Amino acid sequence: MTSAAGPDEDGDRRNVSDAAGVVVLGACAAWSLISAAVHDGRPEGVLLAILAVAAGYAAGRIGGALLPVAAPCAGAVAGVGLTLAVPHLAPGPQIVAPLGHAGATAAVLTLSTGAACCAAWTASAPALRLGLRVLAAGIAVTAGVLGSISGLVTCAAVVLCSLAAGHIRHRGVGIAGLALTATSVTGLTLAVAGNSMPGGLTDWLEGQLTPHRIQLWHDALHLAGQDPALGVGPGRFGELSTTATGTLLSDGKPHSAPLQQAAEQGVLGVALLAAAFGWMLFALWRTARPTPVALTAGAALTALAAIAAVGNALSFTAVSVGAGLLAGLATARPLAHASQAREIDVHARGERLSP
């Protein structure tokens, strides 16, 4: 389940995925500035999130190349430590009710679980691999102890997906399944916001998600309809949403990343958000790392996409950094493996040239 490609092909793969990432992230930044200029918006939050993803990805690539087991393990422990030490994951006044920071907590713990599982698949010693899987399971238990039911569910899902990834021979099928899952959750969110679901199911979802969140989604969809092309401008949802302005303690977010993009940056903003997620899956598909590592990271990022579709997780810098870090760790080429591959390639070339 490891790549049989030579170093030249591996380099080409990395170059293609890296170039795609630069184009996608650059387009996201440029479009936020254009939308903000037209509607006097505030693109700082979007630009900070893009910078956080890029910085995390670069750090992950470096750490994964130098310390392929220790780096993801350290990232997992750091994520848990951050959640325990800084429960709200952000400085300043805390928004506790009615929605709060639960999505960010679940997201950080989910990414930490994915990092621990990736480290387990990279480790060669059976005892160390078992210990890292116990760490991943412990992170899921921690989510439950902290009262994050969504975090418990997504962490457990990542652990199970990671175990199943060891039996998947063709990673393309797994990547396609992850993309379909993220698309389905996003479609469900849009259907709820547009009152397109059956009455009984809508009532049940409203009970799970809270009526306040559903009202925010309605407002976001309404604002998106006012200017589908450009949106109302980055950072302006809080001042234009009747539900947000009528709430005493509001963070000014619709608590859904796709709906926030649709409201503030229009249809193209949603397409660029989808492209950013697609780029990460594409990089995992192209990586020379073993299939279980790629699919484990993809499962964690897909769980994050699901959390972000129904919450404000991406509004926290720690989550954006963590997403980029995990993607970078899972696509890094360990230096020891790279040097070994070069030696094999040189030896093979020498045999072909010898008489």
Predicted pLDDT at 246: 81
Predicted pLDDT at 249: 67
- Is residue 254 situated within a structural domain? yes
Which helix (H) or strand (E) segment holds residue 200: the answer is: helix 199-209
Task: Write out the two tokens for 313.
Answer: 């997780």
- Is residue 1 situated within a structural domain? no
- Is residue 297 situated within a structural domain? yes
The Cα–Cα gap between 275 and 294 comes to 18
Nearest to 307 by CA among 128, 186, 200, 180: 186
Cis bond before residue 98 (omega within 30° of 0): yes
- Is residue 351 situated within a structural domain? no
Alpha-carbon distances of 250 from 216, 246, 296, rounded to whole Å? 11, 9, 35
- Is residue 352 situated within a structural domain? no
- Is residue 355 situated within a structural domain? no
Nearest to 144 by CA among 160, 157, 134, 156: 156
The Cα–Cα gap between 140 and 262 comes to 32
Predicted pLDDT at 248: 65
Coil/strand/helix, residue 231: coil
Q: HSE (CB half, 13 Å, CA atoms) of 243?
A: 20
CA angle 24, 301, 179 (to 5 degrees): 75
The Cα–Cα gap between 221 and 228 comes to 10
Alpha-carbon distances of 282 from 16, 130, 173, 289, 329, rounded to whole Å? 10, 29, 12, 13, 15
How do the pLDDT tens digits run along the chain, 355 residues long? 444 455 556 656 668 889 999 999 999 999 999 999 999 999 999 999 999 999 999 999 999 999 999 999 999 999 999 998 876 654 444 444 444 467 889 999 999 999 999 999 999 999 999 999 999 999 999 999 988 899 999 999 999 999 999 999 899 999 999 999 999 999 999 999 998 887 778 788 878 888 889 999 999 999 999 999 999 999 999 999 998 888 766 778 899 999 999 999 999 999 999 999 999 999 999 999 999 999 999 999 999 999 999 998 998 999 999 999 999 999 999 986 554 444 433 343 444 444 4
**Full domain range(s) for residue 193:** 7-346
Domain total of the chain: 1
Predicted pLDDT at 282: 97
- Is residue 353 situated within a structural domain? no
The Cα–Cα gap between 61 and 68 comes to 10
Predicted pLDDT at 252: 83
- 103 with 308: CB under 8 angstroms? yes
Q: HSE (CB half, 13 Å, CA atoms) of 182?
A: 24
- 178 with 302: CB under 8 angstroms? yes
- Is residue 250 situated within a structural domain? yes
